[in-house]
A and B are shown apart, each in its own frame.
Chain A
Amino acid sequence: MSARLRIAASVTAALTLLVTLSCARAIAQSNGSVKLQWKIVPIVNLTVTPNYQSGFGPQGGAGSGSTPAPGGGASLGGGVVDFGNQVVQGYAYLYKYAVKTTVQTNDAAGFTLYAEGTTDVNDLTAGGTQPLNQLLFWLFSSPGNSPFSSATPFQPTASTVGCGGTCINYVGTPPPTAAVWSYSSSTIGQPGNSVSQGFDYQLRLYSSPPPDSFSVYIVYTAVGN
Chain B
Amino acid sequence: MKKLLFAFALVALGVAFFGTAQAFQVQLGVKQISVNFTVTPSPIAYAPTNATGVAVAANGATFASFENVADYLGKADPLASIVAYEPMNIGDMVAQSNQAGVKVQFTVKVDPTYQYFHLIPVNTNLNAGYGANTYTCSFQVFAKYATAWTITDYAYGSSSSGNTQGLGGFPLYNYATTSDLAWLAETITTSYKAYANAGSPGETVFAGAAGSSKTICIDLNLSVPASIPAGTYTATISYRMVHN
Query: What is the interface of chain A, defined by CB distance below 8 A to chain B?
Result: 39, 41-48, 50, 63-66, 71, 73, 80-92, 98-99, 101, 118, 133-134, 136, 139, 142, 144, 146, 148-153, 166-168, 170, 173, 201, 203-224
Residue contact A208 to B114, C-beta cutoff 8 Å: yes
- Kindly state the separation between the CA atoms of A140 and B66 in the bound complex, as whole angstroms: 45
- Kindly state the separation between the CA atoms of A213 and B120 in the bound complex, as whole angstroms: 20
A8–chain B nearest beta-carbon distance, Å = 50
- Kindly state the separation between the CA atoms of A221 and B98 in the bound complex, as whole angstroms: 6
B136 interfacial contact with A, CB 8 Å: no
A159–chain B nearest beta-carbon distance, Å = 12
Interface string of B114-139 (1 = CB under 8 A from A): 10001111001100000000000001
**Given the complex, which residues of B lie within 8 Å of A211, measured CB to CB?**
107-110
Residue contact A48 to B159, C-beta cutoff 8 Å: no
B146–chain A nearest beta-carbon distance, Å = 21
Residue picked from B95, B109, B112, most chain A C-beta under 10 Å:
B109
Residue contact A99 to B31, C-beta cutoff 8 Å: no
Query: What is the interface of chain B, defined by CB distance below 8 A to chain A?
Result: 29-34, 36, 94-112, 114, 118-121, 124-125, 139, 156-157, 159-161, 163, 232-234, 236
Residue contact B34 to A92, C-beta cutoff 8 Å: yes
When A148-B234, A149-B234 are in contact, do A48 and B102 touch as well, CB less than 8 Å? yes
Residue contact A81 to B232, C-beta cutoff 8 Å: no
Residue contact A150 to B106, C-beta cutoff 8 Å: no
Residue contact B94 to A42, C-beta cutoff 8 Å: yes
When A149-B159, A153-B125 are in contact, do A83 and B105 touch as well, CB less than 8 Å? yes
Residue of A nearest to B240 (CB): A63
When A90-B111, A206-B124, A212-B108 are in contact, do A80 and B94 touch as well, CB less than 8 Å? no
**Given the complex, which residues of A lie within 8 Å of B139, measured CB to CB?**
206
CB < 8 Å neighbour of B103 from A43, A90, A217: A217
Residue of A nearest to B94 (CB): A41
- Kindly state the separation between the CA atoms of A47 and B106 in the bound complex, as whole angstroms: 24
Residue contact A92 to B108, C-beta cutoff 8 Å: no
Residue contact B109 to A217, C-beta cutoff 8 Å: no
CB < 8 Å neighbour of A87 from B95, B107, B124: B107
**Given the complex, which residues of B lie within 8 Å of A216, measured CB to CB?**
103-105
8 closest residue pairs by CB, A with B: A83-B106, A85-B107, A48-B100, A89-B111, A150-B234, A215-B105, A46-B98, A80-B103
CB < 8 Å neighbour of A80 from B105, B107, B118: B105
- Kindly state the separation between the CA atoms of A58 and B137 in the bound complex, as whole angstroms: 30
When A89-B111, A217-B102 are in contact, do A148 and B96 touch as well, CB less than 8 Å? no
When A91-B111, A150-B234, A214-B106 are in contact, do A44 and B96 touch as well, CB less than 8 Å? yes
Residue contact B108 to A134, C-beta cutoff 8 Å: no
**Given the complex, which residues of B lie within 8 Å of A91, measured CB to CB?**
31-32, 111
Residue contact B121 to A206, C-beta cutoff 8 Å: yes
